[in-house]
Amino acid sequence: MMNEQWRHLTTKLPEWLDDCRQYAKDGEAASYIPELAKAPADALGISILTPDGSMIAGGDSGLQFTMQSISKVFTLLLALVDHGEEHVFSKVGMEPTGDDFNSILKLELVEPGIPFNPLINAGAIAVTSLIKGSSVAERTERVLAFIRLMAGDDAIDYNETVSRSESVTAHRNRSLAYFLKENGVLDEQTSVEEVLSVYFNHCAIEVTCGHLARMGLILACGGFDPLSGRQLVPRRYVQIAKTFMLTCGMYNASGEFAIRAGIPAKSGVAGGILAVVPGQYGIGVVGPALNRKGNSIAGIRLLETMSVECDWSIF
Ligand code: DON
């Protein structure tokens, strides 16, 4: 790929990385999942992939990190493939909340007690319960197989230490899940603990920026993988996922990110961000230091800078 924008990106990226890395000191790596506190807080890396297979990678793009909430985009896609739109949206809504990602508030406040959207923790737990499989291992394996397919790497796995570390301290997620069970949102056959185990496992799937860029590229191309020439996910489901990324992907900072960057993106508390420039690029970013809303502080800065410089906003 050799157009003007690509040249601009290649030339300026090192400078943008240096500028944005400065912001990491104003944030902190997540510590409520003890294992995540060990991440290098000042790291910042990025990979950008185009439909013709050209890739730019910069900074700490080789760093391995867990997907955390980024995995929720893919469990949503898998649940849609497993059950179709109507059933999925009888268990989870389509609206942003404006609350923190782990908030329990609206579950009791608003009828009919289904979570507002699939990207907050309550919604993601409801979606996880929809993933077909007869055991925790089988359901985890199905999510892994889907992510391996999207990322084009059979070696992808989940980090058991991170999954266990989250499970030990997941009092809030346990309460959310029991609340959903009481409201009849979780499926009858599966226990709360089983659903939570699958949820912790898929949050702990370990990737690099390159993997996120590849997954992002498939979303950018409406579910079609330009590198293998195969349609991996129905276009309609990818359209739904990208819409949620735009309206809810950065939690209660989604409005601000939509104004400043204007592209679908999904963050995770390990510091990853998956971003999509429709039709053009899949992007993976990592920067473990988070701001108060749980998004990578330097990573957001980097995406906002690049979007303005390259005029990526879809609006
Ligand atoms: O459930 C949790 O709290 C984590 N496994 C995922 C949360 C997360 O990534 C929120 N992101 N900003």
Same domain, 73 and 196: yes
- 258: containing domain: 4-65+207-310
Q: Does the structure show a pLDDT above 80 at 187?
A: no
Q: Does the structure show a pLDDT above 70 at 110?
A: yes
- Helix and strand counts by DSSP (H, E) for the chain: 13, 9
State mean pLDDT over 299-312: 97
Half-sphere exposure at residue 10, Cβ-oriented, CA atoms within 13 angstroms: 12
Same domain, 103 and 171: yes
Q: Is 121 annotated as a binding residue?
A: yes
Helices 121-128 & 192-203 angle (0-180, nearest 10): 110
ipTM, interface predicted TM-score of the complex: 0.95
* 45-49 vs 230-231, strand pairing mode: unpaired
Domain presence at residue 26 = yes
Residue 100: what pLDDT? 80
Q: What are the residues whose beta carbons fall under 8 Å from the beta carbon of 219, sequence distance 6 or more? A: 73, 238, 241, 242, 245, 264, 274, 276, 282
Determine if residue 152 is left, alpha or beta; phi over 0 gives left, psi from -120 to 50 gives alpha, anything else beta. left
Ligand 1-lining residues (CB < 6 angstroms): 68-69, 101-102, 121, 166, 173, 203, 251, 267-269, 294
- The backbone torsions φ and ψ at residue 179, rounded to the nearest 5 degrees and listed phi first, read -60, -45
SS3 call for 294: coil
Q: What percent of the chain has pLDDT over 90?
A: 90
Q: Catalytic residue at 281?
A: no
Q: Catalytic residue at 69?
A: yes
Q: Catalytic residue at 72?
A: yes
Same domain, 77 and 189: yes
Chain segment 192-239, per-residue pLDDT in tens: 999 999 999 999 999 999 999 999 999 999 999 999 999 999 999 999
Same domain, 92 and 140: yes
Q: Is 166 annotated as a binding residue?
A: yes
State mean pLDDT over 299-315: 97
Chain segment 118-171, per-residue pLDDT in tens: 999 999 999 999 999 999 999 999 999 999 999 999 999 999 999 999 999 999
With tokens 């009481």, the residue in question is 182
Q: What is the tally of structural domains in the chain? A: 2
* 230-231 vs 224-225, strand pairing mode: antiparallel
Q: Is 69 annotated as a binding residue?
A: yes
State mean pLDDT over 249-254: 92
CATH number for 179: 3.40.710.10
Residue 1: what pLDDT? 66
Domain presence at residue 315 = no
Q: Which atom of ligand 1 is nearest to the CA of 121?
A: 1
Q: What percent of the chain has pLDDT over 70?
A: 99
